[in-house]
């Protein structure tokens, strides 16, 4: 089913790409846009994950450079029945994370330094489990390709500002008006596509991730902290690349621009409420109000290590 959704998404984004090309250069521009989109689709399938990781300046870590983080990822991946993904760290003060890759065998999990500084070990495990759920549900291919092509549509639309439309279509400035309309509408349309494919997927990843970790309140507590921090701590790289915002576990954008009108994430309070209901179904207690921070001596990954970012 995800492969069908990916094909439909690619067709829709390619059509948008061609529409912008047509308004910039007529039929020739549409054909060039089609060829560029076809090449981009092929490139995105094989390389979009590396492009997105590079976009956010993520560097790979291992058991020597980030032993606690890698250990948690490995043990939760084992619980999820997944191969060990590559682990990346982003030097960014905003606590956040995302997963990428075309399939579980070629996947990666990336977290920010801010996440390790703001969350407890259990909350971090909840976030990692959510990202592994995206990998398990095979969401990462469609998420990563969308980030690449939607970003390209936005850039192509911006180029239209410098051309004023196809001269053959310019009747008293009508071509220019059409071009300006596409400059405005194409990024919005791409973001609407992102929004449509992202919201239900986040709920699904929350549920699957909570089941992988075994404690829904860990993820719920993490989401509450991440949402608050996302508004207080800017993510400059995400602001420069808003087309990739849907990759993150919470919206990394500040909301000061129009991007916030087309949020790709469900409301955090609704996600927490869904996790609360899941905890009840799993027969686990839940304190009223904000999720309680859980700090057991043992978790699904084994004994808490001495030291490290989780203390």
Q: Which of 131, 202, 207, 217 is catalytic?
A: 131
Question: Can you tell me the distance from the alpha carbon of 101 to that of 143, in angstroms, rounded to the nearest whole number?
Answer: 9
Q: What is the pLDDT of residues 92-150, one digit of tens each?
A: 999 999 999 889 999 999 999 999 999 999 999 999 999 999 999 888 777 767 666 66
**Distances, alpha carbon 175 to alpha carbons 155, 162, 170, 211, 268, in Å:** 19, 13, 4, 54, 42
Q: Cα angle at 58 between 55 and 60, to 5 degrees?
A: 140
Task: List the alpha helices (DSSP H) in 137-267.
Answer: 140-160, 174-213, 216-232, 236-240
Please state the φ and ψ torsions of residue 302, each to the nearest 5 degrees. 115, -155
Q: Between helices 174-213 and 2-55, what is the axis angle to 10°?
A: 90
Query: pTM to 2 decimals?
Result: 0.75
Each of the 311 residues of the chain gets a pLDDT tens digit; together they read: 556 666 676 677 677 777 767 766 778 877 887 887 777 767 767 777 888 899 899 999 999 999 999 999 999 999 999 999 999 999 999 999 999 988 999 999 999 999 999 999 999 999 999 999 999 988 877 776 766 666 666 666 666 555 554 444 444 454 555 556 666 666 666 666 656 566 778 999 999 999 999 999 999 999 999 999 988 999 999 888 777 788 899 989 876 554 444 456 888 999 999 999 999 999 886 654 444 444 433 333 343 433 333 33
Q: What is the pLDDT of residues 255-267, one digit of tens each?
A: 655 444 445 688 8
The size of the chain, in residues, is 311
Q: Which residues contact 285 (CB under 8 A, 6 or more apart)?
A: 279
Q: Which residues contact 233 (CB under 8 A, 6 or more apart)?
A: 93, 94, 95, 114
SS3 assignment, position 56: coil
Question: Can 75 be counted among the known catalytic residues?
Answer: no
E strands present in 37-125 = 58-61, 86-90, 97-103, 106-112
Q: Are 250 and 226 in contact (CB under 8 A)?
A: yes
Q: Are 95 and 234 in contact (CB under 8 A)?
A: no
Question: Can you tell me the distance from the alpha carbon of 220 to that of 80, in angstroms, rounded to the nearest whole number?
Answer: 19
Neighbour-count burial for 47-66, b at 16+ CB within 10 Å, e otherwise: ebbebbbebbebeebeeeeb
DSSP letter assigned to residue 285: -
* DSSP line for 106-163: EEEEEEEHHHHHHS-HHHHHHHHHHHHHHHHTT-HHHHHHHHHHHHHHHHHHHHHTTT
């Amino acid at each position: 089913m995800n492969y069908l959704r990916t094909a439909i998404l690619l067709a829709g984004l390619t059509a948008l790409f061609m529409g912008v090309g047509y308004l910039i250069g007529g039929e020739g521009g549409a054909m060039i846009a089609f060829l560029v989109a076809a090449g981009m689709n092929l490139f995105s399938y094989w390389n979009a994950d590396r492009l997105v990781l590079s976009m956010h300046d993520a560097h790979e870590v291992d058991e020597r450079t980030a032993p606690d983080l890698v250990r948690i990822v490995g043990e939760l991946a084992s619980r999820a029945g997944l191969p060990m993904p590559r682990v990346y760290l982003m030097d960014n003060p905003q606590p956040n994370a995302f997963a990428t890759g075309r399939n579980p065998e070629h996947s990666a999990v990336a977290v920010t330094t801010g996440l390790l500084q703001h969350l407890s070990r259990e909350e971090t495990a909840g976030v990692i489990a959510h990202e592994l759920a995206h990998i398990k549900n095979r969401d990462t291919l469609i998420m990563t390709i969308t980030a690449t092509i939607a970003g390209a549509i936005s850039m192509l639309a911006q180029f239209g500002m410098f051309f004023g439309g196809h001269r053959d279509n310019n009747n008293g400035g009508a071509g220019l008006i059409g071009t300006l309309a596409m400059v405005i509408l194409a990024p919005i349309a791409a973001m609407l596509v992102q929004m449509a494919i992202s919201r239900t997927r986040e709920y699904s990843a929350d549920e699957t991730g909570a089941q992988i970790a075994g404690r829904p309140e860990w993820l719920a507590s993490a989401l509450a902290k991440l949402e608050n921090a996302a508004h207080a701590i800017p993510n400059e790289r995400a602001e420069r690349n808003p087309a990739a915002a849907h990759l993150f576990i919470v919206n990394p954008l500040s909301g000061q621009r129009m991007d916030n009108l087309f949020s790709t994430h469900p409301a955090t309070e609704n996600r927490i409420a869904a996790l609360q209901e899941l905890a009840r179904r799993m027969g686990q207690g839940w304190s009223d109000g904000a999720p309680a921070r859980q700090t057991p001596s043992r978790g699904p990954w084994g004994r808490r290590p001495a030291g490290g970012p989780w203390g």
